[in-house]
Amino acid sequence: MNQPSEKKIIIAIDGFSSSGKSSMARQLAKSIGYRYIDSGAMYRAVTLYAIEHGYVAPGRDPDVDAVEASLPHIHISFAIAPDGSQITELNGRNVEQQIRSMAVSQCVSPIAAIPQVRHALVAMQQQLGRDKGIVMDGRDIGTTVFPEAEMKIYVNASPQTRAQRRLAELVEKGVATSFEEVLANVISRDHIDRTRAESPLRKAPDAIELDNSTMSIAQQDAWLIDQYHRIAGLK
């Protein structure tokens, strides 16, 4: 557990979709007593709002002007469930389940590529991290949101490994889909996330790279805690 006298740091974990970064970030935050923020959930919440208002749909380009105009009406907050997990709220409504749907996954990358959406969410993320003691995961946390973060991790794994993991999650939630559909979504999101003009996914020069394709969850968590102790000067 984090001791009150310890110097708090910012931990940025970036990587591809379904690389396991959210689970590892959440577990690290829990182990060291830090706050965990899933920045992807924020892009997903904006996307859900846009779907519900007819500004975007799977296979259709977003109405960028309408999405930008609606930003002042989109309020995202986080609550904590009794089991300690994060609940994403959109205008006060629990949308944690809905933002994980296949429709949101299919529409989120084009929404996340809109510069005004990014500016609004990056400002909110920076505000959430102003007191440090935070683990945030996403695509541009170590490069754009907190370029000064003391600890930066860049997570990678093959598209097949990631699609397999995502499929297992969706099957567990009872979502009807196939490996091919999930793999196509992973590959298409990788492409958009890497090639968009505004804050594309890339490794910060000072980030530590982790390829977890062949690592167990336990190995990965132990590796991360080790990095934290080293960087926070506890070792």
> Which of 112, 146, 110 shows the shortest CA–CA distance to 41?
112
For 93, the token pair is 């409504």
In terms of Cβ atoms closer than 10 Å to its own Cβ (0-12, 13-18, 19+), residue 124 is middle
Name, in order, each residue with C-beta under 8 angstroms of 131's C-beta and a sequence gap of 6 or more: 8
Residue numbers 82-121 binding ligand DC by CB under 6 A: 108-109, 112
| Phi then psi dihedrals of residue 78, to 5 deg | -125, 135
Q: Is position 43 an interface residue for ligand DC (rule: CB under 6 A)?
A: yes
Would you say 34 or 96 has its CB closer to ligand DC? Answer: 96
Rounded to a whole number of angstroms, the minimum distance from the CB of residue 44 to ligand DC is: 6
Counting every residue written for the chain, the total comes to 235
Rounded to a whole number of angstroms, the minimum distance from the CB of residue 138 to ligand DC is: 2
Count of positions on this chain that bind ligand DC (CB under 6 A): 14
Stretch that binds ligand DC, among 75-83, 138-146, 168-176, 227-235 (CB under 6 A): 138-146
Say how far apart CA 4 and CA 7 lie, in whole Å. Answer: 8
Would you say 2 or 60 has its CB closer to ligand DC? Answer: 60
Tell me the three state secondary structure of residue 135.
Answer: strand
The answer to whether residues 129 and 136 touch, using CB atoms and an 8 Å cutoff, is yes
Would you say 58 or 233 has its CB closer to ligand DC? Answer: 58
- Select from 45, 46, 101, 140 the one that contacts ligand DC (CB under 6 A): 140
Rounded to a whole number of angstroms, the minimum distance from the CB of residue 5 to ligand DC is: 31
Q: Mask: binding to ligand DC, 185-214, rule CB under 6 A, as x and -?
A: ----x---x---------------------
The answer to whether residues 14 and 207 touch, using CB atoms and an 8 Å cutoff, is yes
Would you say 62 or 138 has its CB closer to ligand DC? Answer: 138
Q: Is position 62 an interface residue for ligand DC (rule: CB under 6 A)?
A: no
Name, in order, each residue with C-beta under 8 angstroms of 154's C-beta and a sequence gap of 6 or more: 14, 15, 142, 203, 204, 207, 208, 209, 210
Residue numbers 12-41 binding ligand DC by CB under 6 A: 17, 39-40
Stretch that binds ligand DC, among 25-33, 61-69, 72-80, 139-147 (CB under 6 A): 139-147
Would you say 88 or 227 has its CB closer to ligand DC? Answer: 88
Name, in order, each residue with C-beta under 8 angstroms of 186's C-beta and a sequence gap of 6 or more: 16, 17, 18, 159, 162, 163, 166
Q: Is position 139 an interface residue for ligand DC (rule: CB under 6 A)?
A: yes
* Interface residue list for ligand DC (CB under 6 A): 17, 39-40, 43-44, 108-109, 112, 138-141, 189, 193
